[in-house]
Chain A
């Protein structure tokens, strides 16, 4: 029995073993299946290699990524059996990836240590995969394949975002508005995270000084004490504020509009504050200019209104004085008094004329003058006005400074500015009158705004006097504003200059420094026309004489003689107007819009004689010079003719050379004589039997 028991026992044991073995194998298979299922279920590919680096297995995902490998070793591609084969494939299909992607990969999957390496490869279907080669503890190699399509998308988004951010930053930096962003919390305060260049420029600070600083402290400095409360209000009550500020840096005033806005974050707190500063200096200055223009316009209108009534009064004063003078005998002292009244009334009339000059709008002047020659001629005339302690000098740097205006108006401008310059230097100094052409880029921005040309004529009058105070600068062109003592100036000089320059289409700029001096710059547009009036030639050479553009009115009742004289004068290139009697001459001049530089008239004529005609015509046209001609003088004497003092006289028969000479001398001296009210000019002729002053007659 025991003998039978033993084999039975052995068989039983064996059976148990076999059962256990089968059971274990079943378990093993089960767990292998579970393992395989698990790795197949993974969302990334796994490829295993044995210790001898032979291909072991791959999961489904890996097979999908790399279709040339199969889960089954036996079925795998012949060319792909070892790790080296896989590396070959990896290097062949490696994709160059940029820093951004590398950074994302490192961040997402951790840094690659020494245990392996990683490469981005392009799989067969064009899909991007990250292949991580790692070593297991037992020394197997496992390759983890991850789909990078999502990361690629992320990276593209990141680049796009980065680009977008870059563009936005650039746009904010390029903005002319100052922009400030402060980040923080209500309790801890806000610090400046960002400012653009414009803000730094507005606040006169450097970026590095601003960024990181406390926003409230910075803003107190920027907005000034007056607006401090508004800034506090904005931070404390979380509300948007908008106000105007004025800054001054190195004596340059600037105005800004500043808006501070809190931005509420998603949890309902103000996470950041945005400040925007907009420069309004230009607008402010424009407003001031507009206000000034309006004020001057109103004053001009007022002046014109006053001038009108004033003229009415003056005409009565002057008229009656004149009548009274005529009633009195010569030598009566009352006559002198009345003459004084007439002089005063003439001064009053001149004053109203000045007021009107100021208020008048731009008028079209056909006349073109050469500023350089007009200015040079003024030097002799202005010299008597200037004290010996003042050193006056005239410079013209360019030729052909053609300007559309009358010589008279430019003389008025120069004279007024020179007199002002003189008065600014009671103890003497240097006075310079300069004329030149200037380029647009060389003038101040205020002038650039006024003038649209590229080149203008610049007339500058500079002194080394006491300078002009700021308060005076603002008002100096106002009519009746004067800093001179009472009775010394009516306050119309500069307002007239202003009016005249405006009429010429120009503008005035002033540079002044207290106790150092002042320069007035008068900018005038350059005319593309040439001056119509040109004096040329030498008196010694009659044929060379030319008075191109000058106008003469010849009055002679003898038609033949009128013709001859007119022809002779045309040889001097003059415009010749003719009239056969005094009344006709008056009408001729009335119809003629230009200047009449010379009246050449017969003395004895019916209806209206030459002397009366000269009186009437020059009362209307102060610029006109007169030369009388007559056949009466016998042996050099004019019998029975009462010629006015200093009259110029040509004897008949008319000799061309004598006529040309006297006409040329008279006309070319006209400029000087126009200012006869300032300077007594006595014509002195070196010749001849035909030219005589009446005192000799």
Chain B
């Protein structure tokens, strides 16, 4: 199955607006223009509730107020087992990676990352889901 990046709809969950805008830019550089944004897990969850199966991929920061990334993912997995989920975090210790994996992320990227690394991770996740 081929992946056409320009057709993708992505939900970007990140509390820091600069970081959100930066990732949006990176995604647009990849040719992905349909990017939806949410500032925390709670808002993202209500977005998913309203528009179920609408997005193809969720990119989410770990540390957020209200509801953090892991909590959001746990709640998401109760309604959607297969939604591709890329966790973005400044944490790079082994325990965090293990925790993220065990809570059901599809992919994991450490900050800081280059646009190339970001694109590679997005592609890996989409390929994983497609395969």
Asked if A pairs with B, the answer is yes
Report which A residues bind B (CB closer than 8 A).
Answer: 304, 307-312, 314-320, 322-323, 326, 345, 349, 356, 359-361, 363, 582-584, 586-587, 590, 606-608, 615-620
CB < 8 Å A-B pair total: 100
Q: At the interface, yes or no: B93 with Cβ under 8 Å from chain A?
A: yes
With a cutoff of 8 Å between Cβ atoms, the chain A residues found around residue B92 in the complex are: 307-308, 311, 356
Q: Determine if A312 and B119 form an interchain contact, defined as CB atoms under 8 angstroms apart.
A: no
Q: At the interface, yes or no: B120 with Cβ under 8 Å from chain A?
A: yes
Q: Number of B residues contacting the other chain (C-beta, 8 Å)?
A: 36
Q: Determine if A616 and B112 form an interchain contact, defined as CB atoms under 8 angstroms apart.
A: no
> Taking CB as reference atom, which chain B residue is nearest A356?
B92
The binding surface of chain B is classed by DSSP as helix
With A and B bound together, what is the CA distance between A650 and B20 in angstroms? 41
Q: At the interface, yes or no: B2 with Cβ under 8 Å from chain A?
A: yes
With a cutoff of 8 Å between Cβ atoms, the chain A residues found around residue B110 in the complex are: 311
- Which of B16, B89, B120 has a CB less than 8 Å from the CB of A617? B120
With a cutoff of 8 Å between Cβ atoms, the chain A residues found around residue B93 in the complex are: 304, 356, 359-360
Shortest Cβ distance from residue B94 to the other chain A in the assembled complex, whole angstroms: 7
- Which of A322, A359, A360, A608 has a CB less than 8 Å from the CB of B114? A322
Q: Determine if B123 and A608 form an interchain contact, defined as CB atoms under 8 angstroms apart.
A: yes
Q: Determine if B124 and A607 form an interchain contact, defined as CB atoms under 8 angstroms apart.
A: no
Q: Determine if A316 and B116 form an interchain contact, defined as CB atoms under 8 angstroms apart.
A: no
A586 with B123: in contact, given A308-B91, A360-B94, A607-B2 (CB under 8 Å)? yes
With a cutoff of 8 Å between Cβ atoms, the chain B residues found around residue A307 in the complex are: 90, 92
- Which of B2, B25, B91 has a CB less than 8 Å from the CB of A323? B25
A311 with B25: in contact, given A583-B123, A616-B119, A619-B116 (CB under 8 Å)? no
With A and B bound together, what is the CA distance between A359 and B95 in angstroms? 12
Q: At the interface, yes or no: B22 with Cβ under 8 Å from chain A?
A: yes
Report which B residues bind A (CB closer than 8 A).
Answer: 2-3, 16, 18-19, 22-23, 25-26, 29, 63, 89-94, 107, 110-117, 119-121, 123-124, 126-128, 130-131
With A and B bound together, what is the CA distance between A136 and B9 in angstroms? 137
Shortest Cβ distance from residue B119 to the other chain A in the assembled complex, whole angstroms: 6
With A and B bound together, what is the CA distance between A617 and B114 in angstroms? 12
Question: Please, could you name 15 A-B residue pairs with CB atoms under 8 Å apart, sorted by A?
Answer: A304-B93, A310-B90, A315-B112, A316-B18, A316-B19, A319-B26, A323-B26, A356-B92, A360-B93, A583-B127, A584-B131, A590-B107, A607-B3, A616-B116, A620-B121
Closest 4 CB pairs of A and B: A315-B112, A619-B116, A311-B90, A319-B22
Q: Determine if A315 and B111 form an interchain contact, defined as CB atoms under 8 angstroms apart.
A: yes
Q: Determine if A590 and B124 form an interchain contact, defined as CB atoms under 8 angstroms apart.
A: yes
Q: Determine if B2 and A586 form an interchain contact, defined as CB atoms under 8 angstroms apart.
A: no
- Which of A304, A317, A322, A586 has a CB less than 8 Å from the CB of B127? A586
> Taking CB as reference atom, which chain A residue is nearest B25?
A323
With a cutoff of 8 Å between Cβ atoms, the chain B residues found around residue A349 in the complex are: 112
A586 with B91: in contact, given A320-B22, A322-B114 (CB under 8 Å)? no
With A and B bound together, what is the CA distance between A587 and B125 in angstroms? 8
Q: Determine if B120 and A619 form an interchain contact, defined as CB atoms under 8 angstroms apart.
A: yes
Q: Determine if B90 and A309 form an interchain contact, defined as CB atoms under 8 angstroms apart.
A: yes
Shortest Cβ distance from residue A458 to the other chain B in the assembled complex, whole angstroms: 29
A312 with B16: in contact, given A323-B22, A587-B128, A619-B117 (CB under 8 Å)? yes
Shortest Cβ distance from residue B57 to the other chain A in the assembled complex, whole angstroms: 14
With A and B bound together, what is the CA distance between A620 and B89 in angstroms? 16
